[in-house]
Amino acid sequence: VRLSAQRLIVASQDPVYVDLLSAKIEESTNALFLLHALWSLEGLGATKVELLPKALSSTEPGLQVNAIKIAELHLLEHPELISDLIPLLATSAPQVAMQAALSLGSLPPEIYPQYQAAMHPAFAKVLKRSDIDIWTAMAVASATRHEAGNFLQQLLSSDLNHHEQLVAVTMA
């Protein structure tokens, strides 16, 4: 039912939904509603980035992953979102850390160096986790491709003992 309602809202392209959804997002704690409402706003071309931190800080990984995906679409116009995504690399939910790495990796090479000092230590911490899976390691490798040499030097100079992750980063 929610998905059908979302489709009808987006298909209508009626701007009246923007204020209605925005108000409900601010007052709701229902993760499923927030997920559909945020994607509805995106579908209406009316995403309000000031509403994303609520979803990004949720305890529900599915909502966080979707909020990261929406944020990724707006990183260039709203670079303040980059600072909201970096801490999500440290989350205990592997799907959230992986999506944060993938989304941060979408930064173009001309912008990436501005955030490298904050991102590289966070990426290194992801690789040092004992519960990291190969897919998250590959997401980090993909995300660091613009400055792979610098990142690899940082890893080699750290106390990294996770050889499999280092190999995954090297091979990516």
Asked whether the predicted pLDDT for residue 80 surpasses 60, the reply is: yes
Q: Among 24-28, 132-136, 166-170, whose mean pLDDT is lowest?
A: 166-170
Q: What is the value of pTM for the model shown?
A: 0.88
Per-residue pLDDT at 151: 87
Whether 47 contacts 38, CB under 8 Å:
yes
Q: Is the pLDDT of residue 172 over 60?
A: no
Contact 56, 38 (CB under 8 A): no
Mean pLDDT of the chain: 91
pLDDT at 8: 96
Distance of CA 40 to the CA centre of its chain: 18
Alpha helices in 44-111 (DSSP H): 52-56, 61-72, 80-85, 94-104
Long-range pairs for 146-152 at CB < 8 Å and ≥24 separation?
A: 146/107, 146/109, 146/112, 146/113, 147/112, 147/113, 147/116, 147/120, 150/116, 150/120, 151/120, 151/123, 151/124
Q: Is 60 helix (H, G, I), strand (E, B) or coil?
A: coil
Share of the chain above pLDDT 90, in %: 78
Report the pLDDT value the prediction gives residue 170, as an integer from 0 to 100.
Answer: 61
